[in-house]
Each structure stands twice: as structure tokens, then as C-alpha cells.
Amino acid sequence: IEILRSTELYNPQLGVGQGKSEDQMTSDLVTGLINTGQKPTGVRRLSHETSLMKVNVVNATASTGVLPSLQTAPSKIKDLLENDVKWEFDIIELETLTGRRPLIWLGLSIFSKLNVHTSLECDDATIRNWLQLVESHYLDNPYHNSTHAGDVMQATAYFLLKLRKKDIFDPLDEAICLISAVVHDIDHPGKSSAFLCNSDHELAILYNDRSVLESHHAAFAFKLTLSDEKVNIFHKLDRDVYRSVRLSIIDMVLATEMTKHFEHLSKFLNAFQKPMQEEEGFEAEPLQEHGESASLRSAENIILIKRMLIKCSDVSNPARPINLCIQWAHRIAEEYCAQTDEEKRLGLTVVMPAFDRATCSIPNSQTGFINYFVRDMFRAWSDFGEFPELMEYIEKNYIYWKDKEPSSCQQGNR
């Protein structure tokens, strides 16, 4: 058991290989995501200019005037939010309808539906203030913005409601999962941790080049939340309860770090999948509970389930309907290409050379990402939670991208 808990056990799995195809795009993508200067120059979604880790709550909460209310929401927003916990929910349309402020609107709707205010003993005004403040501290990046945060929260809500039949989480656990999703990329600079380390960014210095972005997201989220009683959604919690909530949120946010991907997946499989024969002719049995001795509701297992939940929510784009999958694929490619542009400009190591505007193939990047990261994890999660629609979308989307991949001849002529 202690060996399985060791973080070092899974490090060899971080190299490219594992029986997957190793084209240059996939190799660059994997290397860029799992590798552990100039400050990025993102623009705040609203109009709040604060340097990293510096918070001005008064200005941030007051500058937009009257806060959104579901009761007075425009009819188009209300109609769209009627489907807020369906897997096919169109977060991009909500982004458009809300003037690129989807997080507060969707957050108000989902938090109400899952009774987060009751779990936190928190009034609606504080939750509204908090959501508005958090959204104001997401940068206007192509991908890592408040729309992505809303998308991850929406996937989280979908999974939580589906998992209720298993009676795994209590209401406070559900609140923790939703809060973690909302803040998991807050103040993201639109550059990877590797870029921050290579450029000697202040955050890389602060966190010793380890889990730089995820550590910042977690720390910044709590700094923001605790900075003013008007936004402190934890204010009414008992001290011991708050400590456990804080630890769980931090753990979930840190679990989104891709360098630990195979570690988290392997631990999840070890906990919930019956031992399988490796010899030919034997297949893995579905993920399931192992009787009384390994209850799904044990504290240790709940931690593993929460990690897998937020990981799948975070990279759910390839499992969404194709129209959403395509838009997200273009957004992440734009953000990675912008990083490559900046690395070239600054003379830094180019972390993902395949994400060069002159040669980038979005179809190749998507098939590589599905092959290497998505398919195995979502198959495990789908088996565990009984989400067959996830794999159906993934395989359909994979075929779509595969058909659009350039031929080897075309690639050679680039």
C-alpha cells in the first residue's frame, strides 16, 4: 500500500510511449503538458488590473454596479440555463449572451440547484459577490478564461448529479467540488508552468518551479476569498470544518497538474478496478466497489474520486458535442501558439515546437491528446460512474479529427 501511495512510483510513466503513436505533435504536446523572465501581459476580463497575488476586493466588487440576478436575467439567458446540467450545454453561447461573463450566471444557477448556500451556511449575496470577484480575476486568455472555468464547473455538476445514485458525496463534498472547479485556473497567465520556470517568473521563484500554476491558483483563490467578509463564502463554517474544506479544495486544484496525470489515474485504477490478468485472452473488469473493506465512501477513496472528477471535468472538451469540441480545440491551439511566439521573441526554449503558427495541425494535436491522455482516463471514469455518453462522444470526435489529419505527404511538404 505504501508503495502504491508513493508519488515516485508513477514518474517513469511520464515519458512518451506506452504503446501510443509517437508523432511529433503528440510528443510535443505531451512534453509541454508534463514538463515542469518576462511577465505575461494578459488583460482582465472585466476591468480590474491587479498584479499577481495582489487583491483589491473593494474595487473588484463595486466596479460593475448591480450584480446579476437569475430572477431578472434576460429571457435568452434564462432559457439557456434551463439546460445547465445537461452534458450538451453550450457554454460558448452563454459566453456570448453574457458579454463574456458566463461564470457568475452559470455559477448562480448551478450553486442554487445543488444547494451550495445551504452546505456553506452562506447567504446568496455573499455567493454572488464571490462569483463575481472570482470571474473578475480570470484573464482574457484564448482558453484559460472564465468560460473554461464555467465549463469545468458545469461538467463537475453533471458528474455530481449522476453520482448521487452511488451515495458517495455528502452535500459539503459537492460544494467543495464545485468551488474547486470555479477557482481551479484563477489568475492563469495564459502561459504554462514550464514557460514561467524558463523565464524566471516571480511565481516560479515563489513555488520553487514545482506545481507553479496550480499552487498559484489555490493560494490566490483563498487569498481572494478571505480578503473581505462580503465575499468570504467560508465565514460561517466551524473552524475544523473549514480546515477540512480548505485541504480538499487545495488537493483538487493541485490534482489538475498534468505532470501527475498518470499517478492519479493509476491510483484510481488500483483502488477501483479489480486485479486483471495481463495474459492474452483476459480483459479488465469494470471499475467497481470491492465490498465492505474498500467502501466508496472511505475518506481515502473519496479523495481519489474527487481528483478524477476534476481531472475529467478539466479536460472534458474532447468528450463534448463536436461543435463545442472544435471551438475549444482552436482556443487551446491559439493559446499554445501565442506562447511559442513569446518564447521565440524572448529567446527562451520553445516548450511545444509543434504549436508553431506555420506548422500547427489542430487535428493532430487532438488525436494525440485523446490517444495519450483522454481515452484511458475517460474509459475508467465512465466505467466507474456509468457515463457511457462520454466515450461515445470521444470516439465520434476522434474519427472527426482523424479524418482531418494531413497526410504524411502533406506533412512532409510543410
- Binding-site residue numbers for Zn(2+) are 148, 184-185, 314
What's the chain's length in residues?
414
- Distance separating alpha carbons of residues 332 and 396, to the nearest angstrom: 20
> Residues forming the annotated binding site for AMP?
144-148, 185, 314, 366
Residue type, 100: R
Query: Three-class SS of residue 30?
Result: helix
Whether 137 contacts 220, CB under 8 Å: yes
Which letter does DSSP use for residue 234 in this model?
Answer: T
- CB of 14 closer than 8 Å to CB of 372: no
- For the chain, helix, strand, coil in percent to 5 are 60, 0, 35
CA-atom Rg of the chain in angstroms: 21
Cα 328 from Cα 171, distance rounded (Å): 31
If one counts every other C-beta atom within 10 angstroms of the C-beta of residue 196, the result is 24
C-alpha cell of 309?
472528477
Q: If we measure between CA atoms, which residue out of 85, 91, 80, 77 comes closest to residue 324?
A: 91
Is 144 known to be catalytic? Answer: yes
Annotation: binding site: 144-148, 184-185, 314, 366
**Which of 117, 144, 216, 264 is flagged as catalytic?**
144
Angle between helices 299-314 and 239-254 (to 10 degrees): 50
Task: Tell me 38's DSSP state.
Answer: P
Euclidean distance between CA atoms 221 and 219, whole angstroms: 5
What span, in angstroms and rounded, lies between the C-alpha atoms of 284 and 215? 35
Please, what's the largest Cα pairwise distance for the chain? 65
Active site positions, annotated? 144
